[in-house]
Structure 1
Amino acid sequence: MKKVRIIGVPEHFNLPWHLPIEEGAFTERGIDLQWRDIPEGTGKMCQLLEKRETDLAIILTEGIIKSITEGNPSKIIQTYIGTPLLWGIHVAANSEYSTIDDLKGTKAAISRYGSGSHLMAYVNAKNQGWDPSTLQFEIINNLDGAIEGLTSGKADYFMWEHFTTKPLVDQGVFRRLGYCPTPWPCFLLVGTNKFLKENGSTVDHILEIINMYTLEFRNIPSIDRTLSNRYGQQLEDIQQWMGITQWSQSQLPVDTLTAVQETLIELELINEKLPPETFLY
């Protein structure tokens, strides 16, 4: 049995991985796929890839492209979610801020530097016409840290995926002031260079299984109810999410990779554009 370590956020996006693990689809191919939840998100996952403390990761596009540019010895195996991520822009329920414009010059809560919450704060600043060099950050590690950080006033706003944070909005913990969707497909399947070089056939088997599950995912009977119950979300929210989400079974297009790099360069988050072979498996 080949042991393979994989990491991702503990969110509804990743149920197509948990189902084949639980149903033994990987073990039938001789693969012991060991999943580990990383609630801290992409910044933490980049570190784990770099230290080779995982073999594979389901990770945000902008975060891993920045990290590979900075020397992370990993490659993109394929796109996992082919549609944008809908980032909500949140403040504490009792916050004095009522519009996104009010947040200019305030402090953003981020899980860590290099995370999606960090990089998307720059994308939002660009969208709003703010000077990105004036952005201020407070590291809060994860969603629980964001609740504490916004409630206590250590930070003023927090960007996180809309549907994951919606229960907190419904409960009156956060207020959502607006949205900032990613301008590209949001999640990628990534592996360390060492693992990919030494385990080509194993990667092929993993891709065959996950692509079969993502292709058929919507057709699983009552999958919306399963997602709702498992992730503590309202059924209508899950149905809305499934309506705007598409899984991918193909590699990240070169023009998309180029667009992400050009945006990161414009925001002064990376210094140079590297060739596609630096990134793509």
Structure 2
Amino acid sequence: MKNFLIGGVPEHFNLPWYIALRDKEFHKKNINLRWKDFPEGTGHMVQALRDKEIDMAVILTEGIVRDIINGNECKIVQVFVKSPLLWGIHVAANSKFNAVEDLKGTHAAISRYGSGSHLMAYVNAENLEWDLQSDLKFKVIQDLNGAIDGLPKGNGDYFMWEKFMTKPHVDNGTFRLVGLSPTPWPSFVIAVRNDVLENEADSIQAILDVINKTTANFKDLPEIDEVIAKRYGQKIEDVREWLSLTEWSDVQLTSKELQNIQQKLLELQLIDSKVQESSVLHAF
């Protein structure tokens, strides 16, 4: 039995992994895969990959592409969720801000530098034609719980996080949703450390085969909407909307998609230069 540790956010996108683990599907391939939650998100995961604390990660596309370009010795092996991530732009319920345009020049609460909440603040600012130097400021708040605690106290003015995972905190009056900012690329990919790929390519392929089989049937599982609603504290109508918008994948990022991501990161001055496709994507 070969041992692997995979990281990911504890969100509904990753429920197929929990199901495959519960049903011991990886054991059937002689693989002991263990899951580690990273509620802090992308920034924490890229550091864990660099530090060899985990072997692989289910991670935001833009975050891992940027970190690979900046020296993280990993590669993307496939897209996991091909639909865009719908980032909600949230303010505290007691905030004086009522529209996205009001947030120009204020502080975005981010989990950490290099995280999805950090990078998407740049994408949102560019979409609004803000000055990326003067109109963007940041406060590090670690994770969703940090925003729940911090925003009402003025520790950050707005917070970008996945719309549906944050919706319960809008419903209970902690946050107000003032806007949406979808990613212009597939939302999640699976990344693996280069040394693991070099030594255990067959096992990584077996892990992908298992999870792709699980995601192919995920929406057809009996009462899956009720399972998600209960597990993640969601309203059933929100879960059904999320399921209708979410599409998993079993293929690699295309050259065009990677080019678009690199171009956007370059325009936002989040990378210094583009790299060859082979430096980012692994082909089995």
TM-score calculated relative to the size of structure 2: 0.98
What is the rounded CA distance, in whole Å, between the counterparts of 1:79 and 1:154 in structure 2?
34
Counterpart of 1:154 in 2: which secondary structure?
A: coil
1:170-192 residue CA offsets vs partner (Å, 9 max, x unmatched): 00000000100000000000000
Counterpart of 2:133 in 1: which secondary structure?
A: helix
* Equivalent runs, 1:204-219 vs 2, <5 Å: 204-219=205-220
CA positional deviation for 1:89? 0.2
Counterpart residue type for residue 153 of structure 1: G
CA positional deviation for 1:167? 0.1
Q: Any stretches of 5+ residues in structure 1 without a counterpart?
A: none
* 2:201 paired residue number: 200
What is the rounded CA distance, in whole Å, between the counterparts of 1:148 and 1:18 in structure 2?
29
* 2:24 paired residue number: 24
What is the rounded CA distance, in whole Å, between the counterparts of 1:232 and 1:154 in structure 2?
25
What is the rounded CA distance, in whole Å, between the counterparts of 1:63 and 1:20 in structure 2?
26
Percentage identity across aligned positions?
Answer: 51
Counterpart residue type for residue 13 of structure 1: F
Q: Any stretches of 5+ residues in structure 2 without a counterpart?
A: none
What is the rounded CA distance, in whole Å, between the counterparts of 1:110 and 1:42 in structure 2?
11
What is the rounded CA distance, in whole Å, between the counterparts of 1:59 and 1:150 in structure 2?
25
* 1:236 paired residue number: 237
* 2:96 paired residue number: 96
CA positional deviation for 1:149? 1.6
- Deviating above 4 A after TM superposition, structure 1's stretches of 4 or more consecutive aligned residues are none
1:24-59 residue CA offsets vs partner (Å, 9 max, x unmatched): 101111111100000000000000011111001000
CA positional deviation for 1:155? 0.6
Counterpart of 2:209 in 1: which secondary structure?
A: helix
Aligned length: 281
Counterpart residue type for residue 8 of structure 2: G
CA positional deviation for 1:148? 1.6
* Equivalent runs, 1:100-139 vs 2, <5 Å: 100-134=100-134, 135-139=136-140
1:153-206 residue CA offsets vs partner (Å, 9 max, x unmatched): 021000000000000000000000010000000000000001111001101110
CA positional deviation for 1:99? 0.5
What is the rounded CA distance, in whole Å, between the counterparts of 1:122 and 1:63 in structure 2?
12
Counterpart of 1:108 in 2: which secondary structure?
A: strand
1:57-95 residue CA offsets vs partner (Å, 9 max, x unmatched): 000001000000100000001000001000000000000
CA positional deviation for 1:260? 0.3
Counterpart residue type for residue 221 of structure 1: P
What is the rounded CA distance, in whole Å, between the counterparts of 1:57 and 1:37 in structure 2?
10
What is the rounded CA distance, in whole Å, between the counterparts of 2:206 and 2:119 in structure 1?
33
What is the rounded CA distance, in whole Å, between the counterparts of 1:250 and 1:8 in structure 2?
19
Counterpart residue type for residue 117 of structure 1: S
Counterpart of 2:148 in 1: which secondary structure?
A: helix
1:204-242 residue CA offsets vs partner (Å, 9 max, x unmatched): 110110010011111111111111111111111010001
Q: Does 1:179 align with 2:183?
A: no
Counterpart residue type for residue 49 of structure 1: L
* 2:258 paired residue number: 257
Counterpart of 1:199 in 2: which secondary structure?
A: helix
What is the rounded CA distance, in whole Å, between the counterparts of 2:223 and 2:156 in structure 1?
39
